[in-house]
Amino acid sequence: MTTSRPTTLDLPVKGMDCAACAQHVEGAIARLPGVQTVQVLLSAERATVAFDPAQVNLEQIRTAVAQAGYSIPDTAGETKAAPEPASTGPRLTSLSALGWAALGLVALVVIGAAIGERVGLFDRVVERLPWWLPALAIILGGWPVFRNVIQAARQRQITSHTLMTLGVVAAASIGQWATAALLVFFMRFGDWIEGLTTARSRQALQTLIAQQPAQARVVRNGQEVEVPVSQIAEGDVVAVRPGERIPVDGTVILGGAPVDQAPITGESVPVDKLPGDSVFAATIVQGGYLQVQATGVGQDTTFAHIVRLVEEAETHKAPVQRFADRFASYYMPLVLGIAILTYLVTGQLLNAVAVLVVTCACAITMATPVVVLASVGAAARRGLLIKGGLTLESLARVDTLVMDKTGTLTWGEPRVTEVVPLNGVARNHLLQSVAAVEARSEHPLARALVRAARTEGLTLPQVAQFTAVAGQGVTAALDGATWTVGNRRLLDEQGCPVSAGAEAQAQALEAAGQTVFFAARAGETIGLVALADTVRPEVKDALASLRQLGVRHQVLLTGDHERVAAAVAAELGLDYRAGLLPDDKIRFVRDLQAAGSRVLMIGDGVNDAPALAQADVGMAMGVAGTDVALEAADIALLRDDWRLMPEAVQLGRRATGTIRQNLGFTAVYNLLGISLAALGILPPVWAAAAQSIPDIAIMLNSARLASWRGGHR
């Protein structure tokens, strides 16, 4: 059979309220001929399907989903539109409302009568209830459930609703119409709770999506024209006023304003933006006015990358989640077998019915996804992009940190660290003069000197007779005197002797891994300036916090010189390896793993990519807007802040612990419930009511992670 080029559709799917729903949709689509891959995202209510259009088409996919009990809107297209908020909770149609009213009426009468009979207020009220009233309530209120059970049966699937429906049929078959109606009532109530739980887990994603503006002003022919964001093209210029969100990724070409970048990087302080600076979609202009030329629009913005990663987090399943999914597939037949055995041993059909209805399969399958969605969404608000449950579980186990130096531990650019005046020269005069002499040089160290002087508010005078000496330094005339700024060799050639005191200070700075410039005026050495790629100020505290969390083995891997690596490692209390190539870093990580270590590797996401991929968890720094780094790393930091690292480890441990709490509670609860039901201690009505409790417990337990704001103990 010939195959055509694969087509990928990204389709909205309506009606999914729990993890089992997503599994049913995925299974229905996967069974179609020609479907190559399918991912169903419960959090976003979407399915991404790759298929051979010669064998299957959109209508066949829509039909398969409909037969599974869900729907793909007729307006669904073949390209992904701008992110839309997922549903905020269970939907209530007119037919559903009628069913709820009928069930509620019967439930109120039956429960009220049962309580009244216990205290002697009523006598045999339930028995006088006409059978057709609860029967009507069962049909009206239970039809949505029964329809899904029939559709699942056609696909040879057993669900928790299948078992409860059997319980309803069994109760009705022996004339227990009121009991059957109450079973349906509590079954629908449990579904409603599950819908609320799923909606709660989607809240972080909805919060992200809501930050994308729908309208924007595009500058055309000198006029600002308001258009939908979807109509903006790369290269367009958009105008953004105070209080508005920037609709695109781009470069500022006019104006200036402080911009709140918290939606992307999590930074709490606005960042001043001027012409030439980059800005991100969904960030907020706070005062001032900007014109931005778009470099990324729609799904190509950093904001869209974040939304997609949060949406797809649930597809990266941790081992504990895969175990739960496999267990749930065997759990339903096991419960059915227990119910049959209960009836055969006790001869009590109601006991068997209670076993069927007390089961909580959805709670098992949702115990992990709810936690993952809540954790990943909360982390994204802090500037941490975590790719799903597998990464969270791996984070919880790390005990070794391996790190790059340049651009990771350090700023990745030279900065002035020391200004040492000699022979009575003022410090500021020395820095101002050296920067003025170096201002015409294109060398990175020269630019660092100029930047340092301007940062301190120093005005640079003009120089004359500027000469650059390759590999040595520069000379220039300033204030009627000849200045020489460079290394020892240049000063020797210019006849400027270096005093013993200056040489001793220079050697001490060089031993600490710094580069030293000597400065001479009219043949006399009057000072020196040291530069280095300095360590980020928050690194030391972050490393200490990681040690408190049990990540005590910390190793610096760098391609830099031994002297520089040793100085940085000594400052931070690290082991180190210097002069390494990318292959050497991979081998080192592999050796650690072979010795039993769980390795967290942090790098810049480019030359460290092989080692990031080899580590148990790879973390890339400073990658806002960088597609390669977002794809390569397990975790991406959207701002260069080491304080996010201990937060990530702590979140991984909290999330994994919460998953285990959810699964443990559900397992114990189900075991106890089935046992009590089989012994006749838990009647069908209370079994139906009890089956919704794990869903509520999981929702409340997982909600703690949805409100996570960082920080660690």
Average pLDDT over residues 379-401: 86
pLDDT interval class at 430 (50, 70, 90): very high
Provide DSSP, 349-387. Answer: HHHHHHHHHH--HHHHHHTTHHHHHHHHHHHHHTTEEE-
Ordered domains of the chain (ranges, CATH): 7-67 (3.30.70.100), 233-296 (2.70.150.10), 383-411+536-652 (3.40.50.1000), 415-532 (3.40.1110.10)
Known catalytic residue at 404: yes
The pLDDT assigned to 520 comes to 92
The pLDDT assigned to 600 comes to 94
Cα 710 to Cα 123, 392, 548, 645, 701, distances in angstroms: 59, 15, 16, 10, 17
For residue range 519-548, list pLDDT tens digits in order: 999 889 999 999 887 888 899 999 999 999
Relative to beta strand 553-557, strand 575-577 is: parallel
For residue range 546-583, list pLDDT tens digits in order: 999 999 999 999 877 787 788 889 889 999 998 887 77
Tell me the backbone φ, ψ of residue 257, rounded to 5 degrees: -170, 150
Average pLDDT over residues 460-483: 88
| Structure token digits, residue 468 | 């650059």
Q: At residue 185, does pLDDT exceed 60?
A: yes
Average pLDDT over residues 271-292: 88
Average pLDDT over residues 631-644: 82
Q: At residue 78, does pLDDT exceed 60?
A: no
The pLDDT assigned to 488 comes to 87
Distance CA 160, CA 6 (A): 36
Task: Please state, rounded to an integer, the average pLDDT across all residues of the chain.
Answer: 81
pLDDT interval class at 316 (50, 70, 90): low
Tell me the backbone φ, ψ of residue 584, rounded to 5 degrees: -65, -35
**Is the Cβ–Cβ distance between 529 and 416 less than 8 Å?**
yes
The pLDDT assigned to 120 comes to 46
pLDDT interval class at 428 (50, 70, 90): very high
- 19-23, 227-231, 450-454, 577-581: the lowest-pLDDT one: 19-23
The pLDDT assigned to 632 comes to 63
The pLDDT assigned to 80 comes to 43
The pLDDT assigned to 82 comes to 44
Q: Which of 355-364, 448-457, 546-555 has the highest mean pLDDT?
A: 546-555
Q: At residue 113, does pLDDT exceed 60?
A: no
What is the number of residues in the chain? 713
For the four alpha carbons of 12, 314, 300 and 644, in that order, the dihedral sign comes to positive
For residue range 586-596, list pLDDT tens digits in order: 889 999 999 99
Distance CA 24, CA 62 (A): 14
The pLDDT assigned to 539 comes to 93
The pLDDT assigned to 1 comes to 47
Q: At residue 43, does pLDDT exceed 70?
A: no
- Active-site hit among 17, 191, 236, 404: 404
If you ran DSSP here, which 8-state letter would residue 211 be given? Answer: T
- ∠ CA 245-248-213, nearest 5°, is 40
pLDDT interval class at 121 (50, 70, 90): very low
Distance CA 493, CA 487 (A): 10
Average pLDDT over residues 233-249: 92
The pLDDT assigned to 199 comes to 64
- 204-218, 275-289, 377-391: the lowest-pLDDT one: 204-218
| Structure token digits, residue 307 | 């939304």
How many helices (H) and strands (E) in the chain?
27, 24
Q: At residue 77, does pLDDT exceed 90?
A: no
The pLDDT assigned to 48 comes to 84
| Structure token digits, residue 700 | 């409340």
Q: At residue 515, does pLDDT exceed 60?
A: yes
If you ran DSSP here, which 8-state letter would residue 405 be given? Answer: I
Relative to beta strand 278-279, strand 575-577 is: unpaired
Cα 128 to Cα 29, 170, 177, 279, 577, distances in angstroms: 48, 21, 12, 72, 85
The pLDDT assigned to 543 comes to 95
- ∠ CA 558-559-561, nearest 5°, is 95
Q: Which of 50-54, 122-126, 412-416 has the highest mean pLDDT?
A: 50-54
| Structure token digits, residue 614 | 């080899």
For residue range 48-57, list pLDDT tens digits in order: 888 888 888 8
What angle, 0 to 180 degrees and rounded to 10, lies between the N-to-C axes of helices 389-397 and 319-346? 100
Q: At residue 451, does pLDDT exceed 80?
A: yes
End-to-end C-alpha distance for the chain, whole angstroms: 61
**Is the Cβ–Cβ distance between 386 and 635 less than 8 Å?**
yes
Q: Which strand (E) or helix (H) includes residue 126?
A: helix 125-128
The pLDDT assigned to 17 comes to 65
The pLDDT assigned to 436 comes to 93
Q: Which of 37-51, 67-81, 322-336 has the highest mean pLDDT?
A: 37-51
Q: Which of 68-72, 324-328, 549-553 has the highest mean pLDDT?
A: 549-553
| Structure token digits, residue 381 | 């608000």
Q: At residue 126, does pLDDT exceed 90?
A: no
Distance CA 12, CA 26 (A): 13
For residue range 476-491, list pLDDT tens digits in order: 999 889 999 988 888 8
